[in-house]
Amino acid sequence: MGVKGEWGSGGVGRGRLTAVLGDPQFWVPVIVLIAGLVVLRWIS
């Protein structure tokens, strides 16, 4: 699951993005954010 390559060289490369997207914990805040936006839309 680890990201191989050029850590420390700066920037957010494709490997890192893949690692973030492959992290199951990432999707918890994403889902909550979408739910929040839906509620905000309903309220306003």
Please report, as ranges, the residues that interact with other proteins according to CB under 8 A.
1-5, 7-13, 16-17, 19-20, 23, 25-26, 28-30, 32-33, 35-37, 39-40, 43-44
Number of alpha carbons in the 13 Å side-chain half-sphere of residue 36: 6
Nearest distance, CB of residue 11 and other proteins, angstroms: 6
Minimum distance of other proteins from residue 17's CB (angstroms): 7
Phi, psi of 12 (to 5 degrees): -110, 95
At 34 the three-state DSSP class reads: helix
Cβ 22 to other proteins shortest distance, Å: 8
